[in-house]
Structure formats: structure tokens, C-alpha cells
Amino acid sequence: MEIVRIFDDHLFSFKHNDCENEFSKLFDFWSDIEQLEEFFEANKYDLQKPFWNYLSVEDAIYRTIQESGKLEDSLRNLSKQTIDKLKGLDSLFRPLNDLQTNVVELNKSKAKQNWLRMYALKIENNAYLITGGAIKLTRTMQERKHTQLELNKINSCHDYLLRKGIIDRKGIVEAFEL
Amino acid sequence: MKTTAIDRLKAIAGDESIKWTEKADWRKSNRKWLDKSARIAIKILRALRAQQKSQKDLAAIIRVTPQYVNKIVKGQENLSLETICKIETALGIELISIPGFQTEIVLQELPDTEPTFKFNRTELKLIGSRKYLYESTISYVNEEEEHYKKTG
């Protein structure tokens, strides 16, 4: 396990083995039609709910690549800003627990609810360390294997930071999601 | 001097910023055709699933390598029209369609009367002791126009 810088002193990512880092892996996954088709085919019953408007697998794939493009563009725009102007990351990430407990309310307040999630540990203001991400189709992360796995990753990444002495128990980092 | 968490993080972090920014910029500048490529890939994958065919099967039918088909179904391939047509034939589906030409056709409204034909009939007729050339025209309004020309 290692840590890599994505841009400036603001966005970092975990990287496992010799693979792509977690951040890049997400954008690769969200633009890979073959992988998305397999994912939505395996999770198509989650789409067959009023909340997702009984979306077809085809529409779900297309929606994912569109949302992923928008998200990547907004992060890329943030990365071009000068350090003192860069305050946008704090507005993009939300505390993980708040989101989970208030998920219904949040969903209602958003006309177009997005299912793309990036999980990160907040190191300090406007500085985040990406642990992974997912396509979250259920209300809680515990309901599906792939989102439960992301929860486990957040915990193991947190432990790694403690072991390496990057954080201590006093200055404990919080888990956030985008 | 006491270091902060971000300082300690920076000290051990490798730099992969260029890798992502290059990819992100490439995806953005090629988004228009990538979007079309993605939609084609979706249709191919769904057809393969419905017809219980593998990517290898498709590769064999259109005579390309399975690796090339895999590139297509990932939605990252700038496909040629020839390849698109081969896949359309192989799977019996339509992948792209060209909008119809924008020529405006103005149809002249015809009257309700049925006949739309017109023909001429010419014959010689004897009226009394004189010969007349009888010309008859039936037009689309079904009115028979007749007139006689004196022939002699």
C-alpha cells in the first residue's frame, strides 16, 4: 500500500500493489462500458425501484459515463486553480456518517441524485486522501458487498495512517464521501 | 518543529498528478466521439448478452482479433464505418443511423374529383355534308372539352 499525490497539496490517493491508484481506477471504471455493463447487469434489481425510476441497464451505463465526465471535469478545473483560491474540495466532499443517516433527506433535496461515490479521509481543510469509491445504488453501504468492501477499505486505510505515524489518535481524520 | 499530518503525508507521497491530468484532458477533448463509441459499445454488449454470444464469437464472425472486439466494447475505439456495418450484420442490429435528408417536398393538393388523367382524341366526323375534325380532350377535372375544327 502506498500514497500518491493527485494534485497539489490537496488531493491524494491510496494505491494498492502496482495497480493504478484508487482515484484513477474509479474514472477508468466509470468510463469502461464492458465493466459497467457487467456491474449493472449484476445489480439490475437495485435499479428496478421507484427511486431510480426503474432505469434500464443501458440507461444506467450511459448515465454513469455522463456523470463521471462531469465529476472529472469539475475536479480537473479545481486542480487548475491557484492554491489560495482552491476551496472547492471542501464543498464537494460531505461527511460520510451525515450522508448515511440523512440519505433520504439529501436524496429528496436533489433533483438528479447521482450514484457515483468517492470515499476519502480528510487530512485537513481542503486536503483529502482517496481510499476508493463505488456506484452506490442502496441507501446504506452495508447493504451490498461492493460498498461494504469500501467501508472496510476506509477503515484499513485509516489504520495504515495511524501505523505510519501520519496521524495520531488525537488528530484523527474523518471519513468523507463525494 | 512539529510537523502536521499533511506535511508527513507529502513526505511519503509519490507523484501521479501528470498521469491523471493527461488522462482527464484526453477524455475531455475526445468526449464527443467517445460518447458515440460508448453508446455503440452498450448496444453491442447488450446484443451479445441477449444472443448468448461471446466477444470471441463476434471476433470470429467479423474476422478480427478478440482483443480488438474487447477494445470496441470498452467504448474507447474510434470505429470505422466498415467495422460498424460488419457488426450490424453479424448481430442483426442497427448501431448507427443517418438522419434523413432535409429536402422539403411540397405536394400539390389535388381537387377531390377522381380522374387525374388527360388525353386527346381526334377523329374525323361528318356533320351534314361537311367533314369536321373532331378533337376531344379529357382533363383531370373530368370536363370534356370539345371543339370542332373545320377541316374542309
Report the distance separating Cα B148 and Cα B136, nearest Å.
9
Q: What is the pLDDT of residue A63?
A: 95
Q: Which of B15, B25, B74 sits opposite A5 (nearest CB)?
A: B15
Report the share of chain A in percent with pLDDT over 90. Answer: 46
Task: Determine whether domain B27-99 maps to CATH 2.102.10.10.
Answer: no
* Higher pLDDT pick, B109 / B7: B7
* Coil, helix or strand at residue B36: helix
Q: Is B25 on the interface with A (CB under 8 A)?
A: yes
Q: Is A171 on the interface with B (CB under 8 A)?
A: yes
Q: What is the pLDDT of residue B109?
A: 63
Q: What is the pLDDT of residue B1?
A: 66
Binning pLDDT at 50, 70 and 90, where does residue A103 land?
very low
CB contact under 8 A, A34 and B73: yes
Binning pLDDT at 50, 70 and 90, where does residue B14 land?
confident
CB contact under 8 A, A9 and B23: no
* Higher pLDDT pick, A137 / A104: A137
How is chain B split into domains, by residue range?
A: 27-99, 119-150
Chain A CB contacts of B19 under 8 Å are: 24
> In whole angstroms, how far apart are CA B132 and each of B100, B125, B135, B149?
56, 5, 9, 6
Mean local confidence (pLDDT), A118-138: 90
> Complex ipTM, two decimals?
0.84
Please choose, from the candidates B143, B144, B140, the residue with its C-alpha nearest in 3D space to the C-alpha of residue B115: B140
Please indicate, yes or no, whether the overall pTM of this predicted structure exceeds 0.95: no
Residues with Cβ within 8 Å of residue A106, at least 6 apart in sequence: A99
Report the distance separating Cα B37 and Cα A66, nearest Å.
13
In the predicted model, what is the mean pLDDT of chain A?
83
Question: What is the tens place of the pLDDT at every residue in B38-91?
Answer: 999 999 999 999 999 999 999 999 999 999 999 999 999 999 999 999 999 999
Please state whether beta strands B119-127 and B130-138 pair in parallel, antiparallel, or not at all (unpaired): antiparallel
Report the distance separating Cα A36 and Cα A55, nearest Å.
14
